Amino acid sequence: MADLAFTPRKDFLVPSSQAAVLAGLGSWLPPRVVGNEEIAQRLDTSDEWIRSRTGIAERRVVDPGTSTVDLAVEAGRRALASAGESEADAVVLATSTADQLCPASAPQVATKLGLNGVAAFDVNAVCSGFIYGLATAAGLIAAGIARRVLVIGADVFTSLVDPEDRGTVPIFGDGAGAVLLRAGDADELGALGPFDLHSEGELAELLWVEAGGAKNRRSEDPRDHYLVMQGQTVFRHACARMAESARAVLDSAGWVVGDLDRFIGHQANIRILQTCAKQLGLAVDVMYSNIEKVGNTSAASIPIALADAVKDGSLQPGNRVAMGAFGAGLTWGSTLLRWPDVIPG
């Protein structure tokens, strides 16, 4: 039996005026690369068809036995190392592919990272999950509940995709990304905010997995256990909502679109990113994308993109950055920061 003894920490309470500052960054992708040609060999599609509609050339897929917790632990470990830290006071895991329906996966992630006894919970806002997770962590810090919060976006979204559906198989990949947030001052590089968060539950059926939950636990139709997506309608909502949300946080911060050096959006589809940029009046080269190499990794996509953008020089300290996402629920949201001097783990 595991040792039940741990000592609650009392030294991390902070004033409510503290901001959440990004102090560490890490990402992890499964080693297995699945290119478009491999998908085209078994489905009625082609590399050209996939690229022209999504911008995706390849994606990463977990090997059997590799789980969301496994991915999250590796990304979290790298974010902690990036910040030069070995501890956090809370773990927020953004995922819609928890290892079990019950319990949440975050406590397992925390334990595997050696963070025994800390607050740990999942946030399920699907592709918007990382933005929701950042806002939740910022609230913990502002309330004085935690000084350091590890926010992880991790999904094995290929587990939700019908392997015979050419409309969804090419889009999704697996992966994890994480940031460590610390208490700091609002005028520091890396300070997050303001935030803008929204949802529209009446449109849930546009993008959902019908079975598996309490309402329809054991549907006999296997298709009910896979993701269903009404692509064209989702496309329209995604473009409009991401642009609206970005305008809202820019207005709240007193910034204008021309102030942005980078927009790091959820990597759902290259055409969504391009259309969102057009609706905002944003130069296309400001809208960062790494979707060609990783596909749509759901809640993991923004932190993975952040890490890639730093590695390839697209993000520099002092850059004014917007982050925005749209996902099932429907959910969407945005936030801002001036990029800190962080080296990804």
Against a cut of 0.85, is the pTM above it? yes
User: What whole-number distance in Å separates Cα of residue 148 and Cα of residue 22?
Assistant: 10
User: What whole-number distance in Å separates Cα of residue 14 and Cα of residue 89?
Assistant: 12
Q: For 34-50, b where at least 16 C-beta lie within 10 A, e where not — what string?
A: bebeebbeebebebeeb
Q: For 208-226, b where at least 16 C-beta lie within 10 A, e where not — what string?
A: bbbbeeeeeeeeeeeeeeb
Encode pLDDT of 122-171 as tens digits: 999 999 999 999 999 999 999 999 999 999 999 999 999 999 999 999 99
Q: Which pLDDT does position 215 carry in this prediction?
A: 86
Length of the chain: 345
User: What whole-number distance in Å separates Cα of residue 35 and Cα of residue 298?
Assistant: 18
User: What whole-number distance in Å separates Cα of residue 167 and Cα of residue 147?
Assistant: 43
Q: Which pLDDT does position 231 carry in this prediction?
A: 83
Q: Could you give the residue numbers annotated as active site?
A: 127, 266, 296
On whether the CB atoms of residues 188 and 332 are closer than 8 A, the answer is no
Residue 280, CA distances (Å) to 240, 283, 307 in order: 10, 9, 24
For residue 118, give both structure tokens.
Answer: 């800390």
Residue 128, CA distances (Å) to 296, 326, 328 in order: 12, 5, 8
DSSP state of 102: S
On whether the CB atoms of residues 95 and 40 are closer than 8 A, the answer is no
* Segments in the chain below pLDDT 70: 1-17
Q: Which pLDDT does position 38 carry in this prediction?
A: 97
User: What whole-number distance in Å separates Cα of residue 76 and Cα of residue 149?
Assistant: 11
On whether the CB atoms of residues 137 and 92 are closer than 8 A, the answer is yes
If we measure between CA atoms, which residue out of 15, 21, 24, 17 comes closest to residue 191? Answer: 21
Residue 313, CA distances (Å) to 103, 262, 305, 330 in order: 39, 12, 12, 33
Encode pLDDT of 204-231 as tens digits: 899 889 888 988 888 888 888 889 999 8
Q: Which pLDDT does position 14 carry in this prediction?
A: 45
